[in-house]
Structure 1
Amino acid sequence: MYWLGRHRTLLLTLLLMIGGTLLCAAAAGHYAWRRALAAESEQVQRQLELYGQGLQQRIDRFGTLPQVLALDPDLRLALLQAPDPAARQRLNLKLQRANQVTRASTLTLVGHDGVAVAASNWDQPSSNVGEDYSYRPYYRQALATGRGRFYGIGMTTGVPGYFMSQAIEDNGTRLGVVVIKIELSALEQEWLPSPDVVLASDEHDVVFLANRDAWRYRLLRPLGNGERREMLEARQYADRSLQPLRVRTEDVLDNGGRMVRLLEPVLPGPMLWQSLALPEEHWNLHLLHDAGAATSAGRSAAIGGGAAWLALGFLVLFVQQRRRLDAHRQRSRRELESVLAQHAEELRTAQDGVLQAAQQADSGLSRSLAHLPQGVVVIDNEQKLVAWNARYLELFKFPAGLIRVGRPIEEIFQYNARRGLLGPGPIDEAIERRLNHLRSGRPHMRESEKDDGTVLEIRGNPLPDGGFVTSYADITAYKNTARELRSLADALEHRVAERTRDLDEARREAERANRYKSRFVASAVHDLLQPLNAARMFVSVLRGKLHGDARELSEHVDAALAAQDAILTSLLDISRLESGALQTHVRAFALSPLLETLAREFGIAADSRGLQLRWVDTRAVVVSDEALLRRILQNFLSNALRYTPRGRVLIGCRRQGDQLRIEVHDQGPGIPESLQGEIFEEFRRLDDGVEQERGAGLGLAIVERIGRLLGHRITLHSTLGRGSVFAVSVPLGDAAAIPAPAPVPAVATDAGDDSPLRHCRVWSIDDDPRVCAATRALLERWDCAVELADGPQAALEIASALNVPQLLLLDVRMGQWHGPDLYEQLCGLWQARPPVILVTAERDDALKTQATENGWGFLSKPVRPPALRALMTQVLVRHRA
């Protein structure tokens, strides 16, 4: 009982918080659930009306057809007198043509005795001709009232449909009936994508249309005996088994909707059941909608209501607690002020007692100061000794009888000055300075070092009555430790400086080694490209002279040389990227032409592999080096085609803030996560690509280095069995920053000469005899007159104004000769400047720029013969123009 009384407030607060939370949650949840359910019900009702309109429109489209057919004289004549076989066949064909035009299921002409005279399905095994339909309601209704409607399963076809009939009359006498059958199964297919359950029931509440098979031919209510007998006589649903629909109604909405739970067929969770009457057909349309969204809204509102009540309760408790804390703080402050006042009074009383006891002491040694580790001396307002401790005497080693109560402190200073303890300078000034400091009553702190190396920390503080207390602490050990730490710090700084110098030297050595490696790689690639260039030219000449299997073999050799060319070019690119020799030209440009060019180039390779290459156009403007970005995307597309055995490859773009992400999607085998970081290293490749086209593993290494050089982020996302996505993120640019294209000069062509190379006088200068021989063979195959194919010295010996070539093919690095310098010497001998094409293995941007500025052609080794021929033709035509 004591515990309950003490904690009654806490229990009441908890009960109020919990009860209020549950009540608010229940009220808010129920209110939100009802509102959400009402909104869902209205939406479902509108959807149901749309379904009803679609059903009614399909019926109305065929509604007038029986009336039109009833006016046909041929049908009326067939009912007035029995038709012969030929006339019956004409009727069948007429109904068949009408059925093909109207696209109904069947058209049937039924006589007054209920037997079908003709039908549109006369030529099918399930023909209606000759069948007795007198038991069908649509026949009886038409003879009785002139028209009839009935939904049922066809007895001859076994296909359910909606039958509409119209009586054919002659002078007020009903001779027979024309019947049209409409199949409504197409409606079920239209309802099939809906996540809801859509049903249609007849006047007996039998479900005959449903977008789910388990719901068709279900009874919404029990049938009476009369209804069952009527359905059996009409054979409405043939041998179909009509199963009851077990449902439990849990709530009824204001607009007639119901919240139900389906027991058979089973549906999880409560469902919203809306119905719509179709009075003209005596049907009802039903829609069952999952009410989970309304339940979720109610749950969220319940959580929100409970949270709001808790927040309000905590706010009230917080305000009350703040008030209690403020009151407690004020009370504590008053108590603390009272205690401090009391302690201050006691402290003043104790201090006065200490000073009084010290003044009355005979020897001046204070027992209250004896335990202090510092030396302490106390003087009064007349600057005379009052008290001291043994540590003070020990530190200064005063003689016996010098220190006594009442001795002026000035005499102590004079004694210490004679021993040299007051420092250099005049003694009187040092004593006077210390006395003035004591008289001023200001606290002070300083350090003093004695002759024996002892360092004292001196602190002085005034007393309330005008006296002064001075303490002397021996800090010699602390000072020694500080000096040792300072010496250690100096030594560490010296070692750090030495290590830094060593690291700088190692870095410079690594840079020198890297530059040497780059020069070595460039030289090695140059020397390797020379014989490769000759080999490709010889193969091109050989391929033009061979046929059949020999020609195919030469093409394989050319493909192998091209692959070797790609590897050497990649090695040179990596070397230039690592050494920083690759220059970038970053500018704003439209991305669409680049993507279109890549799609066109790689589309041919994709078609040859049976793949699809798709690209998505863009109007974006990016800021990058167009040539290097093209190299990145080329490697992406090459890998995508290489590792995609079937399917398609896609290249497109996505915007991400101020960046444009260019992506290449493939449908290859995917890359394991453990290997995704390694494939960007040199000579790393997967083993599941196309065997004939496995690369050297340098493409992605070049991509990674170009991306790092341009500051473009390279990313990879891959899923095993589904494919990979390689992407590069490029900054977006402004279309206004794109420079205007330079005007392209018109190039005149010689209409009288089909090929500018025919009989063209050409010189080829190269220090490699194999290249010279290959070039001569290739040029002579193109009907060129090769007057010289030799080294620099031979060219200088025969050059004169009488043998100026029409075109010069010139290597750049030829031993001690430099191609552009050799050209200037030859021009002096020729007294002319013929067009020149630099054919070189050098990958120097400055050399390419020099060629462009001088109007020279530039071609990298190894030379592809088609590229050489095209460039020679272009240079000759431009020179003639």
Structure 2
Amino acid sequence: MHAAGKLRTTLPALLLVVGGMLVAMWMAWRLAGDNAMRSEQAQVQRQSDLYVQALQQRIDRYRTLPQVLALDPELRAAVSAPLDPARRDALNRKLEQANSVTRSSTLTLIGGDGVALAASNWQLPTSNVGQDYAFRPYFRQAIARGEGRFYGIGVTTGEPGYFLSQAIRDDAGRAAGVVVIKIELAAPEREWLRTPDIVLVSDAHGVVFLASREAWRYRSLRPLDAADKRELDASRQYAGQPLLPLQAQLLREFADGARLVRLQAPASPGPVLWQTADLEQEGWQLHLLHDTGTVASASRNAALAAGGAWLALAFLGLFVQQRRRLTLHRQRSREELETVLRQHAQELRTAQDGIVQAARDADGGLSRSLEHLPQGVVIIDAELRLMAWNSRYAELFRFPPDLLQVGRHIEDLFRHNARRGLLGPGPVEDAIQRRLDHLRSGKPHLRESEKDDGTVLEIRGNPLPEGGFVTSYADITSYKNAARELRSLADALEHRVDERTRDLAAATAAAENANRYKTRFVAAAVHDLLQPLNAARMFLSALRGRLGDEAQAVAAHAENALAAQESILNSLLDIARLEAGSMQTRVRDFRLEPLLDALGHEFGILAASRGLVLRRVPIRAVVRSDEALLRRILQNYLSNAIRYTRSGRIVLGCRRDGDALRIEVHDQGPGIPDSLQGEIFEEFRRLDDGVAHDRGAGLGLATVERIGRLLGHRIGLRSQLGRGSMFSVTVPRGDAAHVEATTMALVDANADSSLRGCRVWCVDDDPRVCEATRALLQRWDCEVVLAAGAGDALAAAQSGDAPDLLVLDVLLDGTDGPALYPQLCKRWHATPPVVLVTAERDESLRELASDKGWGFLTKPVRPPALRALMTQLLLRRTR
């Protein structure tokens, strides 16, 4: 019966705990799964956009090359008249040299009949020369429309690539021939191997031709109809490769176009998230297949955490309930005990005189009147002899019957207890004497004593009016045990809280380590990407001096594309440095007017080119900030204003804001909805109503927000739909007396006399940068004695043969530029001027160059800046 009643009491509580745990786990599993899936969708969308941008930019690097070559007089003459062997050989070598500089796969010149006249691979067994390419779509497109593009497997080389073609027109404007460049896209596939995701690119027929995994290449994502098959056979696009169909099961579709699918051929271990992005200019689609194992893991972890939290909450509730019960029980027991003690004290005081008198007149009858008391009671007279006691007293101390006798001295009882070890450690006589002295003093006392068997006694003693002493012994063992259990429960709960705190600290540390790793990865990736960008800008600058007006416009578009790519990489690098906390600041007082003048001139030209008016309100003020970082904030504001304003004007000005100054940029763009004003300062957040070909990457305002936080400047935004926006940054005012006076030497970048005949060495471990620098310097009539890496430079350095100027990269194989320079000077026995070039945004390098008197430029190097700095160093050396 007792067990059944206990089961009926505990079963509802057990069902509540288990049922609540299951419900909490299910809800956490659903919520965490949905949140994780949304997060994965956003991450996959951003990643696919980055892949699309990278692939498009790689193609755009070569897009203008056929247009430039189509203007070449030699190629135009070659397709207009028959070729003799000498001219054909010269054309082959020219295309071979151009191909070695551009790093493309193949350059081919095709006549109007579709037969290749010359090619860069003319010396190889798989030469294109003499082959008929009239059936290829890129040839037909160029003849019909002036340009063409086509991805396929080469019929001569057997290697796949992307063909870009441009028609060569005669003096009458007719298409007399075609120049074709073939681009190999194996590099993006190798880069995609670094990610665990599957990356695919498909053509307009839905056939996968680029893939990060071999099993996916030449898969058709949809059934091919008869027209598709005829077109593929006619163009021999995939050279007879079997096009296997994709087998996948659709599990779920999302609002943004993403899909959750289960792959069957090729098979996948679990569902994948399939995201598609368009390469509109090429007519392709990029597909990113992301494993959703992290979503399942997040759901599982959330369910376990919710279950654990529910159990902890349930146990905490049970603990609190138990503690409340124990507290009530202890309070009730104490109240009962105090009531009993008060009653017995009153009875003792009332009967005290009678007890003493009866003890004097009788031989022990008084002990029977004390039997109803729950405590053990003993009474002694003024001479410390026994007068009365009850059976509870004899039971507590287990006295032998012959020891308890009226008139026996209390010292005998003490000595008996001492022999049994009940008086505690120390000398026995001292313990007995101490107790006797206390009884003789007649002072009341209250103390607790624990016996060997664990019994705890509360001993309360009071003197009698005519001498003597009455002592009571109460058993309070149950009360003490309850107090110890409460302390044990409290210690266990505190231990659990400490464990949860340590787990939370470990999870926080892991998240911080992951964020630092991501930041270091982004900084290293941007540094590597700046190297080829630097070479491309130098090649383009060297090429522009040799082109006509029409080709100059094409080159200007290419330079704008490279500038946009540089802006994106610089923004990524700034964000990485800001997140890592490695960006150094140089806060000082400076005049704001020169900075606003420079920005007004720089962006005024860009605004005018787009039909806008940039108005600057003059102001004379001194502010305290980092001039370079403040310039970066305002550059982003002005760039966004020009990008999103279709017509009207843009205003750059300042307002006083108490002791600070608020710099504002007003535009007449479309405005920003209130719901998006908090999101546009996040990475890769951008509006969709900007200029179609210049929408940016969504990094500018994210950089602004972090720089403002670093400098302690308040970033502001006020916008109204249809009326425009106002972005602001509030900076403290400075002291005009502390403004540093700086003087910069102005150098005419177009002066030819300072650089003509100048002997220059270029030391860089990237061959593309060396070739680009050589071409640029030779255009300026410089004599480039050496353009190679550190090892070649040391081998070539000889006494008395020092160059007039050295262009030196910082990061080299096995060493660095500042360490290599003294070694070269020792071999030359001379110290020529040096321009230090680096892709690192490190202020310590800039300070080192300033201390040494060296020139300093960051990659990608702008040719005008390099020319001005070289001229300045040479003039300084002459003086």
Band of TM-score, shorter chain? 0.5 to 0.7
CA distance in 2, matches of 1:661, 1:829: 56
8 A contact 1:650–1:664 mirrored in 2: yes
Matched AA of 1:800: Q
Match for residue 848 of structure 2?
A: 850
Cα distance change, pair 789–425 in 1 and its aligned pair in 2 (3 A): closer
Cα distance change, pair 451–858 in 1 and its aligned pair in 2 (3 A): same
Matches within 5 A, 1:331-410: 353-360=350-357, 363-364=365-366, 370=372, 375=376, 383=384, 392-400=393-401, 409-410=410-411
8 A contact 2:764–2:788 mirrored in 1: yes
Match for residue 557 of structure 1?
A: 558
Shift of 1:660: 5.3
Cα distance change, pair 836–496 in 1 and its aligned pair in 2 (3 A): farther
Match for residue 862 of structure 2?
A: 864
SS at match of 2:806: strand
- Residues 31-77 of structure 1: CA deviation (Å, up to 9, x unaligned): xxxxxxxxxxxxxxxxxxxxxxxxxxxxxxxxxxxxxxxxxxxxxxx
Match for residue 877 of structure 2?
A: 879
SS at match of 2:537: helix
Matches within 5 A, 1:396-475: 396-400=397-401, 409-442=410-443, 444-460=445-461, 470-475=471-476
Match for residue 567 of structure 1?
A: 568
Cα distance change, pair 614–352 in 1 and its aligned pair in 2 (3 A): same
CA distance in 2, matches of 1:818, 1:386: 104
Matched AA of 1:635: N
Cα distance change, pair 502–424 in 1 and its aligned pair in 2 (3 A): same
Answering whether residue 826 of structure 2 is matched by residue 828 of structure 1, we say: yes
Q: TM-score, normalised by structure 2?
A: 0.53
Match for residue 757 of structure 1?
A: 755
8 A contact 1:804–1:834 mirrored in 2: yes
8 A contact 1:715–1:728 mirrored in 2: yes
Matched AA of 1:868: L
Shift of 1:854: 0.7
CA distance in 1, matches of 2:469, 2:715: 77
Q: TM-score, normalised by structure 1?
A: 0.53
- Residues 99-151 of structure 1: CA deviation (Å, up to 9, x unaligned): xxxxxxxxxxxxxxxxxxxxxxxxxxxxxxxxxxxxxxxxxxxxxxxxxxxxx
Matched AA of 2:434: R
Cα distance change, pair 812–417 in 1 and its aligned pair in 2 (3 A): same
Shift of 1:786: 2.0
Shift of 1:561: 0.9
Cα distance change, pair 407–359 in 1 and its aligned pair in 2 (3 A): farther
Cα distance change, pair 659–381 in 1 and its aligned pair in 2 (3 A): farther
Cα distance change, pair 828–500 in 1 and its aligned pair in 2 (3 A): farther
Match for residue 654 of structure 2?
A: 652
Shift of 1:396: 2.9
Matched AA of 1:706: I
| Structure 2: runs of 5+ lacking an equivalent | 1-342, 359-363
Matched AA of 1:617: I
Which range is displaced more, 705-714 or 754-763? 705-714
Matched AA of 1:413: F
8 A contact 1:358–1:386 mirrored in 2: no
Instruction: Report how many aligned residue pairs link the two structures.
Output: 530
Cα distance change, pair 436–550 in 1 and its aligned pair in 2 (3 A): same
8 A contact 2:840–2:858 mirrored in 1: yes
SS at match of 2:545: helix
Q: For 1:769, which of 767, 770, 777 is the aligned residue?
A: 767
Cα distance change, pair 633–480 in 1 and its aligned pair in 2 (3 A): farther
- Residues 774-823 of structure 1: CA deviation (Å, up to 9, x unaligned): 11221222222222222333323332244322121111212223112222
Shift of 1:847: 1.5
Match for residue 10 of structure 1?
A: none
RMSD: 4.1
8 A contact 2:587–2:626 mirrored in 1: yes
CA distance in 2, matches of 1:405, 1:588: 102
Cα distance change, pair 564–428 in 1 and its aligned pair in 2 (3 A): same
CA distance in 1, matches of 2:517, 2:534: 25
Cα distance change, pair 565–465 in 1 and its aligned pair in 2 (3 A): farther
8 A contact 2:600–2:614 mirrored in 1: no
CA distance in 2, matches of 1:780, 1:638: 34
Match for residue 741 of structure 1?
A: 741
- Residues 310-359 of structure 1: CA deviation (Å, up to 9, x unaligned): xxxxxxxxxxxxxxxxxxxxxxxxxxxxxxxxxxxx99998853422443
CA distance in 2, matches of 1:493, 1:348: 42
Shift of 1:376: 5.4
Match for residue 794 of structure 2?
A: 796
Matches within 5 A, 1:12-23: none
Shift of 1:857: 0.9
Match for residue 528 of structure 1?
A: 529
- Residues 271-295 of structure 1: CA deviation (Å, up to 9, x unaligned): xxxxxxxxxxxxxxxxxxxxxxxxx
| Structure 1: runs of 5+ lacking an equivalent | 1-345
Matched AA of 1:862: P
Shift of 1:650: 4.3
8 A contact 2:809–2:837 mirrored in 1: yes
Cα distance change, pair 711–434 in 1 and its aligned pair in 2 (3 A): farther
CA distance in 1, matches of 2:749, 2:631: 35
SS at match of 2:426: coil
8 A contact 1:766–1:791 mirrored in 2: yes
Shift of 1:532: 1.1
Shift of 1:718: 4.3
Cα distance change, pair 819–445 in 1 and its aligned pair in 2 (3 A): farther
8 A contact 2:748–2:868 mirrored in 1: no
Match for residue 544 of structure 1?
A: 545
- Residues 834-881 of structure 1: CA deviation (Å, up to 9, x unaligned): 111112212222222111111111111111222222222222222222
8 A contact 2:837–2:859 mirrored in 1: yes
CA distance in 2, matches of 1:844, 1:874: 23
Answering whether residue 619 of structure 2 is matched by residue 617 of structure 1, we say: yes
- Residues 248-286 of structure 1: CA deviation (Å, up to 9, x unaligned): xxxxxxxxxxxxxxxxxxxxxxxxxxxxxxxxxxxxxxx
SS at match of 1:788: strand
Shift of 1:527: 2.3
SS at match of 1:545: coil
Answering whether residue 681 of structure 2 is matched by residue 700 of structure 1, we say: no
Match for residue 97 of structure 1?
A: none
CA distance in 2, matches of 1:464, 1:755: 127
Cα distance change, pair 703–352 in 1 and its aligned pair in 2 (3 A): same
Cα distance change, pair 837–448 in 1 and its aligned pair in 2 (3 A): same
CA distance in 1, matches of 2:495, 2:629: 47
Shift of 1:707: 3.3
Shift of 1:431: 1.8
SS at match of 1:693: coil
Cα distance change, pair 349–367 in 1 and its aligned pair in 2 (3 A): closer
8 A contact 1:749–1:877 mirrored in 2: no
Matches within 5 A, 1:73-472: 353-360=350-357, 363-364=365-366, 370=372, 375=376, 383=384, 392-400=393-401, 409-442=410-443, 444-460=445-461, 470-472=471-473
8 A contact 1:534–1:775 mirrored in 2: yes
Cα distance change, pair 508–430 in 1 and its aligned pair in 2 (3 A): same
| Identity across the alignment (%) | 65
8 A contact 2:344–2:373 mirrored in 1: no
8 A contact 1:747–1:877 mirrored in 2: no
Shift of 1:574: 1.9
8 A contact 2:749–2:868 mirrored in 1: no
8 A contact 2:462–2:469 mirrored in 1: yes
SS at match of 2:693: helix
